[in-house]
Chain A
């Protein structure tokens, strides 16, 4: 089950929606909303240093100041530096194939989701993460990456 999820989107409506869908899916999931991608990135760096990375980051692509692609680039270099892994799922209203291709180039991205977020999407992602990482321990609030 997903315990800790960050949602990065410039649209407050989208944030509201995603947060509530997540809560509906998993009542114990602790989700944080970031309307400013920079803040989210700062938090992730801090999490990486304390070993408390979220299970998943839901990332919008089309944002002012820092686009989703720029976010991925920076996060990627942080993770490589710390030899850690962080799972990102793109959650966008874009249905552009080019965007999809660009995102697939990033090793962090495990899925490309078209808005709106649904239960079944969350289910698929959870399964994918489990497959990669092994079953998520229910009672442990975070994971350590070595």
Chain B
């Protein structure tokens, strides 16, 4: 061994085959010696390099640092230079690790020995590792989601900044803590199972709820994977994403879809969807029951197969095609012939993969509409007044006959109560309240009402109010029907009045004939009796002459009655020829008084005639004069003996009537005894006064012929008031 050590060739050979490059440089860095291994390491021959400056081979970027380090190393015995790049003969840069030994003082060497090794592979490996680490760390720390690492015992070992944001805890509160601390208890089994599974080498995705600081819950979507080092699972890494918002959106979407589904299923209309090949993709329950098939029999099937009648729906097909082409919805009606023919109303909307259809069977509705149109025609053309009332009894609609009879059109009548609109002073309150009661109970009313038209005309209507009841039995509307019976009633009233007048006349005639027969018979009977008496008396008896004179009296009485009859009958007889004229009432009163007053024979009297001097009455002057003469004559005859006669005549004009009152301060009478008998023939109310009981009968007869009436008010010693009522004034 010692022998070989001494051979210079041996050293050169050693240098040539070494992995390291041995060279000697001077203080300036010029090569003094280059080992033979340079050929293998850098591609150069030692001869090429000796004499050259070593820095010429070093990468520009590394040159200064290397030169500085070398400079520092000059004072040392041994120094390591930082890694630098050296140019290979091929031009390629090689990383070098170099140590410098100061052997200047060594007489054999007199320079710096450099020991250089090619570490390119090693440097590159290290750089690759560094880059990988940076990548990893970037992935870990800069990831926008929460990235974490769990130790095999389940505790957090590493977290990025998002973790604390997601969990709401500080990093220090997370690190070293078991993950279960942050998982909602409901999701713990899932989390534990996933952890165990991952620890067995399986990557997983799971969704769970974490509990943030402050008990707030947050949904996380977590991907976890095992970290395997040298075939051993050392930890778990995971990425968690906050999916709370996404979950909520999904929830809302699900609810909306559910709601939509519920609506579609509960509306009493048919909905279905078709794809582009006319196959059902959806059908709601109503549609299924409408066509009488289960949903399973519909969905997925072609419409022609499910609903053969649809083959007739040419409009339906063409419209669906149009909707598909244009993307615009369409609505239309079509009549199909199955059963008794149905009218269908369609609404077709474009949907994702075809069309959605809303189908309503409007057959009944169309029939109802048709029926209503006919009814409306009848209601508008009839001569009977028809009114629709709302549930409160307010007018909603009136027909033209109502307008014609009342003068009120719909515009004026709308929203009014008929009672307010048509009621007047004589509209019966009782009937109104009866109507209201019936309406409130939802019962029909039938009866007759007095209404007033717009121009104030009184009308009589036969009124019928029919309630229209809703499902709950309460009235939702009323129909009121009015027949105008004004004319009929007027005629009936006239007839009734005529009948009353006739029966009154008959009664009067009966009374008249009774009194006449009685008063004719009385003197006749007296004559008969007296004749018999005279026959039985001898001429010498003192009664004989008296009886004869009584006989003359009786005959005279008979004559008076016959004259009275003649007078009364003449009044009636003349009535057909009675002249109606404008009679000045004041003048007639004055004339009557001038005939009567002389009978007072100068006795004191106060007369007041409260009558407008120009007032005239359409009447007959003679009859009125006779009546007044009789009444004034009675006032004179039945005056109180110890009192001055006071007579007051008042004329009052009223609507369509004229009233004449004649008041005296005479002896009066108890009219309760005789009541209306006072105006009857041969009725007398006073004993001790002349008279046959004819005067007031004549007055009534005269006044009846004039179409006037008379009534009396009286009390003993209180005077008497006669009231004459004339129908109209001129």
CA distance A126 to B311 in the complex (A): 121
The reply to whether the CB of A17 lies closer than 8 angstroms to some CB of chain B is yes
Q: Which residues of B contact A93 (CB under 8 A)?
A: 518-519, 521-522, 524-525
CB-contacts of A79-98 with B (<8 A): 93-96
Known: A11-B522, A65-B687, A116-B529. A16 touches B517 (CB 8 A): no
Q: Tell me the interface secondary structure of chain A in the complex.
A: loop
9 smallest CB-CB distances across A and B, nearest first, come from A116-B529, A115-B525, A64-B684, A93-B522, A93-B521, A17-B529, A93-B525, A116-B525, A116-B528
A146: interface (CB < 8 Å) = no
A96 touching B514 in the complex, CB below 8 Å, given contacts A13-B526, A17-B526, A65-B685? yes
Which residues of chain A are within 8 angstroms of B687 by Cβ–Cβ distance? 35-36, 64-65
Is the pair B525, A114 in contact by a Cβ cutoff of 8 Å?
yes
B359 CB within 8 Å of chain A: no
Residues A97-136 near B (CB distance < 8 A): 114-118
Tell me, yes or no, whether B536 is within 8 Å of chain A by CB: yes
Please, which residues of chain B bring their CB within 8 A of the CB of A96? 514, 517-518
Q: Which residues, 518 to 555 on B, are CB-close (under 8 Å) to A?
A: 518-519, 521-526, 528-530, 532-533, 536, 543, 546-547, 550, 553-554
* A31 adjacent to chain B (CB < 8 Å): no
List 16 other contacts, CB 8 Å, given A14-B525, A96-B514, A115-B522.
A13-B526, A13-B550, A14-B526, A17-B526, A21-B529, A36-B687, A62-B518, A62-B522, A65-B684, A65-B685, A94-B518, A95-B517, A95-B521, A96-B518, A115-B526, A117-B529
Instruction: Kindly identify which residue among A20, A36, A64 contacts B533, using a CB–CB cutoff of 8 Å.
Output: A20
Residues of B within 8 A of A49 (CB): none
In the complex, B673 has a CB within 8 A of chain A: yes
Q: How close is A123's CB to chain B, nearest CB, in angstroms?
A: 15
Closest to B533 in A: A20
With A17-B550, A64-B686, A64-B693 already in contact, the answer to whether A118 and B532 are too (CB < 8 A) is: yes
The reply to whether B514 and A116 contact each other, CB–CB distance below 8 Å, is no
- Assess the A64–B521 pair: CB atoms within 8 A: no
Chain B: which residue is nearest A116 at the CB level? Answer: B529
Q: Which single member of B518, B532, B546 contacts A116 (CB below 8 Å)?
A: B532
Q: Which residues of chain B from 372 to 403 have any CB-CB distance to chain A below 8 Å in the complex?
A: none
Using CB atoms, name the residue of chain A closest to B554: A13
A selection of 5 A-B contacts at a CB cut-off of 8 Å is: A14-B526, A16-B550, A17-B533, A95-B521, A114-B525
Q: Which of A14-41 contact B (CB under 8 A)?
A: 14, 16-17, 20-21, 24, 35-36
How many Å from the CB of A93 to the closest CB on chain B?
Answer: 4
Cβ B693 vs Cβ A14 within 8 A: no
**Cross-chain contact of B530 among A17, A36, A114 (Cβ < 8 A):** A17
**Which chain A residue lies CB-closest to B546?**
A16
Q: Report yes or no: B550 in contact with A14, Cβ–Cβ below 8 A.
A: no
**Which residues of B are found within 8 Å of A94, using beta-carbon distances?**
518, 521
Bitwise interface map of B from 221 to 257 toward A, beta carbon under 8 Å scored 1, else 0: 0000000000000000000000000000000000000
Residues of A within 8 A of B530 (CB): 13, 17, 116
Q: Which residues of B contact A21 (CB under 8 A)?
A: 529, 532-533
Q: Which single residue of chain B is at the shortest CB-CB distance from A36?
A: B687
**Which positions 668-712 of chain B face chain A at CB distance < 8 Å?**
673, 682-687, 693
Question: Is B557 an interface position by the 8 A CB rule?
Answer: yes
- Shortest CB–CB separation between residue A15 and chain B, in angstroms? 10
Q: CA–CA, A73 to B286, complex, Å?
A: 92
A21 to B536, CA, bound (A): 9
CB distance from A79 to the nearest CB of B (A): 22
Cα(A87)–Cα(B544), bound, Å: 31
Closest to A60 in B: B522
Tell me whether B550 and A24 are in contact (CB under 8 A).
no
Residue from B528, B684, B687 whose CB has the most chain A CB atoms within 10 Å: B687
**Docked pose: A24 CA to B529 CA in angstroms:** 13
Q: Give the complex CA separation of A64 and B519 in angstroms.
A: 13
Q: How far is the CB of A34 from chain B (nearest CB, A)?
A: 12
Identify which of A20, A36, A115 contacts B521 (C-beta below 8 A). Answer: A115
List, in ascending order, chain A residues with CB within 8 A of B547's CB.
16, 20
Q: Nearest B residue to A11 by beta-carbon distance?
A: B522
Which residue of B has the minimal Cβ distance to A96? Answer: B514
Bound CA span A14–B553, Å: 11
In the complex, A116 Cα to B536 Cα: how many Å? 14
**Which residues from B are CB-within-8-Å of A65?**
673, 684-687
Q: Is A13 in contact with B553, judged by CB distance below 8 angstroms?
A: yes
Taking the nearest CB of chain A, how far is it from the CB of B43, in angstroms?
Answer: 175
- B550: chain A residues at CB < 8 Å are 13, 16-17
Q: Which residues of A contact B528 (CB under 8 A)?
A: 115-116
- One digit per residue, 1 when the CB lies within 8 angstroms of any chain A CB and 0 when it does not, for chain B 492-523 equals 00000000000000000000001001110111
Whether the Cβ atoms of A24 and B526 lie closer than 8 Å is no
Q: Which of A39-97 contact B (CB under 8 A)?
A: 62, 64-65, 93-96
